[in-house]
Amino acid sequence: MDYKVIIDEIHKNLRETDNPGKVAEYIPELAKVDPDKFGVHISEVNGGAYGTGNYRDKFSIQSIVKVLSLALTYKLRGESIWSRLGYEPSGTAFNSLVQLESDRGIPKNPLINAGALVICDILISILDDPEQDFLDFVREVSDNESIEYSMNIAASERVAGYLNIALCNFIKSFGNIENDTDQVLDFYFKSCSIELSCEELSKTFLFFANGGQKPGTGGQVLTVSQVKRINAIMQTCGFYDESGDFAFRVGLPGKSGIGGGIVDVHPGKYSIAVWSPRLNKKGNSYLAMEFLEQFTTKTQMSIF
Ligand code: GLU
């Protein structure tokens, strides 16, 4: 399959269409991003790779990191993590407080903010130096020592982080946060601030397309079964309360972030990252979703 021709054609056509989306502004630092950036990069399990547009520009991956923090926690703690959080779609906004009360502080899944906060708490309890150890894990799976947290973005989110602060305290009141809430929040904000380009992001997620193994290196990051489960969670919970629509239109597991990035995985074939900062009303990148819908339609390949 010649992905290059298809990617170039869709990218060119979409560049010229009207984009009704809006850049996320609740994190002041993110509002400064050029809204018209548009990059795409595919990394294939067999070693092929191709990118177009702003695919080498770094952007804030935000919630996409939740998949990586889940991966490390699952690797270290196995099935025991499911006593602290669930794996059902929430059907509510990513930062909703509502369900937590009836669910007695057990978040619906690891890809909403509440679940990601519990995952950060578990990592703090088991790692010697959580911020450094997590960064080392991301660097290792991506084969990229240059990956860093963005202190500016983390600080900017901290200042405006009222809802996340409320979520963390609310969960703690039910006894499902073990550590100091400030420590959990700092780690959460820092993890969300990691910056990657589409090229780096698609490469980082390739092990989810390859049964848990980093292609070419033989390094097994997760078991086949763990990757199956994380891919299932991405499929059902990866796109806020638009995950059903995303599955319907695109048909691939993945994760989006309010920085405008989306990464998708086609098991056995590839990982693809698309970035365009203008978001639709549900918080997913308008253009990235359009791109991916056209991509799976034109290639006639999805998981369904
Ligand atoms: N750091 C962001 C927040 O907690 C992540 C949101 C997202 O990308 O969905 O609000």
Which residues form the pocket of ligand 1, taking CB atoms under 6 Å from any ligand atom? 62-63, 94-95, 113, 157, 164, 192, 257-258
The pLDDT, as a whole number, for residue 258 is: 96
Pocket test of ligand 1: the residue of 25, 152, 157 to mutate, having most ligand atoms within 8 Å of its CB, is: 157
- Cα-Cα end-to-end distance for the chain: 18
Domain 3-62+196-298 in CATH 3.40.710.10? The answer is yes
Mean pLDDT, the chain, as a whole number?
96
For the CA of 189, the closest atom of ligand 1 is: 1
Tell how far the Cα of 5 is from the centroid of ligand 1, in angstroms.
Answer: 33
Q: Which of 65, 64, 71, 111 is nearest to 274 (CA)?
A: 64
Domain(s) of CATH 3.40.710.10: residues in the chain: 3-62+196-298, 63-192
Distance 217 CA to ligand 1 centre (A): 32
What is the arithmetic mean of pLDDT over 109-124? Answer: 97
Is 271's pLDDT higher than 90? Answer: yes
The pLDDT, as a whole number, for residue 147 is: 97
- CA geometry: angle at 46 spanning 43 and 52, to 5°? 25
pLDDT digit string (tens) for 62-103? 999 999 999 999 999 999 999 999 999 988 777 788 889 989
CATH code at 63-192: 3.40.710.10
User: 284 with 276: CB under 8 angstroms?
Assistant: no
Atom of ligand 1 nearest to the CA of 63: 8
Using CA atoms, how far residue 268 sits from 143, 193, 263, 288, in Å, is 20, 29, 15, 22
- In this predicted structure, the answer to whether residue 120 has a pLDDT above a threshold of 90 is yes
Predicted local distance difference test score (pLDDT) of residue 296:
98
Q: Are 121 and 156 in contact (CB under 8 A)?
A: no
